[in-house]
Amino acid sequence: MAFPFAPFTVQPTAARWATALTFVWLAAGVLVAAESPRPWPAAPQFRPLTTERIAAMPAAAQPPWRAYLAASNRLAAALPARDAFVTPSLLKLEGAGIPGKHSLGLQLSAEPAWYATNAAQEIAGRVVARQTRAGAWTKGNDYTSVLVISPLKADVWSGGTLDNDATTWEMRFLARVAAAAAPGDVRVAGWREAFLRGLLWLSAAQYPNGGFPQIYPLAGGYHDAITFNDDAMTQALELLRDVGVGRAEFAFVSADLRADATARLTRGIACIVAAQLRDGGGRRTVWCQQHDMLTLQACAARNYEPVAACTNESAALVRFLMTLEPPSPEVATAIRGAVDWFKRTALQNLVWTRQGGSGQLLAHPGAPALWARMYEIGKDRPIFGDRDRTVHYSVAELSSERRNGYAWYGVWPAVAIEGFAVWVQQNP
């Protein structure tokens, strides 16, 4: 669901952090740093799924989790041995930001006729060739060039991932190319078989409570957390939704698999609602980038991604929830709580720019509402992380590599807020 952007009004107190992002004025008129950086808390900020953790659960809750972990371990044992999870270096970097890995060539917004072209079909063939033995895809594949077939590197990602649009985009692309193919095209069976393998991987990867890890089979570390980051779980549920209702390109999926997709969608929605953060007064707010798979508590991920309320991922979750018809009372409450929080935390009269290659937050009267990517939970003030696991209250304090290599500010919630204006009329 997409909605046009339009200005909106925020409460006067919503911009309180806009004037204190980097500095505060003392009574004597001295300009000082707003607050010193702090390290991550000493307690573990993320925990993998283990037999020991499952054993600590109530006895009645253990069986599905034991079965899940056993299935993950069996699949991992059947694949080439992978490197174990290693905590990334805590060394800060300077210079240009290191970009994320995204696959190339998977157009999902092309004109329908394009999916019947030789160009699209060649890419579909390369997509099939790069499917992992587990049934998913890795990230960062270049589908625009001829592939040199070689053994895939056996690292934590090699079984498959939902990170950076991986797997769900490949599946959607294959389904569209197969649907657009001429009658009798013998390649259709292979494209659809690869899609169905991906669908089975997606089903196997889903946790018993409806969440999705970043990587499956499980790889340990923060990868095991329920991952909203970069819309991983959101895109998985959107795909299950479209498969379940039998959208045209998925009409070939059997009735049993469509029903299973719908059941898994329902489970995933319940997980989203249950994981939603609450403020000190019990009001529902938004979500962290990752949540623990067992406790649903907010948790950290990469060294520069501390525990935080996150606007980008939360905006995507709200847009997804607003597509559900009719929304359950629980879903409606989740939507309203998140939108209210977006309005309270909007920053006014500021722009985030990378002019000259350096990220800067600048005053700009009349600028559209802006949001930080991360907010400190309970205090609703912007925070920023660096590779040494420090949390900062000013983006200017970050190493140049992290300041320039991450989307620290954006207008992500604006579309959700505008969409809410339409949704609330339909769901008073």
pLDDT (tens digit, 9 = 90+) per residue, 113-155? Answer: 999 999 999 999 999 999 999 999 999 999 998 866 555 567 8
Residue ranges per domain, the chain? 53-84+101-275
Alpha helices in 131-185 (DSSP H): 168-180
With the C-alpha atoms ordered 176, 179, 182, 186, is the resulting torsion angle positive or negative? positive
Q: How many CA atoms lie within 13 A of 193 on its CB side?
A: 8
Q: Give how far Cα 398 sits from Cα of 97, 133, 395, Å.
A: 12, 40, 6
pLDDT of residue 99: 78
d(CA 274, CA 79): 34
For the stretch 4-24, pLDDT in tens is: 333 333 333 333 333 334 443
100/11: higher pLDDT:
100
pLDDT of residue 149: 55
pLDDT of residue 337: 98
Q: Domain 53-84+101-275 falls in which CATH fold?
A: Glycosyltransferase (1.50.10)
- Which 3 state secondary structure label does DSSP give 87? coil
For the stretch 225-254, pLDDT in tens is: 999 999 999 999 999 999 999 999 999 999
Give, in degrees to the nearest 5, the angle at Cα 375 between 96 and 157: 55
Of 141, 164, 303, 312, catalytic: 164
Q: Looking at the DSSP assignment, which residues form a beta bridge with residue 23?
A: 33
pLDDT of residue 20: 37
pLDDT of residue 115: 98
Q: Is 141 a catalytic residue?
A: no
Q: Residue 165 pLDDT > 50, yes or no?
A: yes
285/34: higher pLDDT:
285
d(CA 233, CA 129): 25
Of 16, 133, 302, 344, catalytic: 302
Q: Residue 182 pLDDT > 60, yes or no?
A: yes
d(CA 197, CA 136): 8
pLDDT of residue 7: 34
Contact 347, 13 (CB under 8 A): no
Q: 259: buried, middle or exposed (CB in 10 Å: 19+, 13-18, 0-12)?
A: exposed
Mean pLDDT of the chain: 90
pLDDT of residue 328: 97
Average pLDDT over residues 71-97: 89
Per-residue DSSP letters for 267-307? HHHHHHHHH--B-TTS-B--B-SEE-TTT--EE--STT--S
Q: Residue 301 pLDDT > 50, yes or no?
A: yes
Q: Is 164 a catalytic residue?
A: yes
For the stretch 196-210, pLDDT in tens is: 999 999 999 999 999
The two tokens of residue 286 are: 């938004």
Residue (of 318, 314, 311, 315) closest to 383 by Cα position: 311
For the stretch 50-69, pLDDT in tens is: 999 999 999 999 999 999 99
Give the containing element (helix H, strand E) for 72.
helix 62-78
Q: Percent of the chain, pLDDT > 70?
A: 90
Backbone angles phi, psi at 203, to 5 degrees: -65, -40
For the stretch 261-293, pLDDT in tens is: 999 999 999 999 999 999 999 999 999 999 999
d(CA 360, CA 353): 5
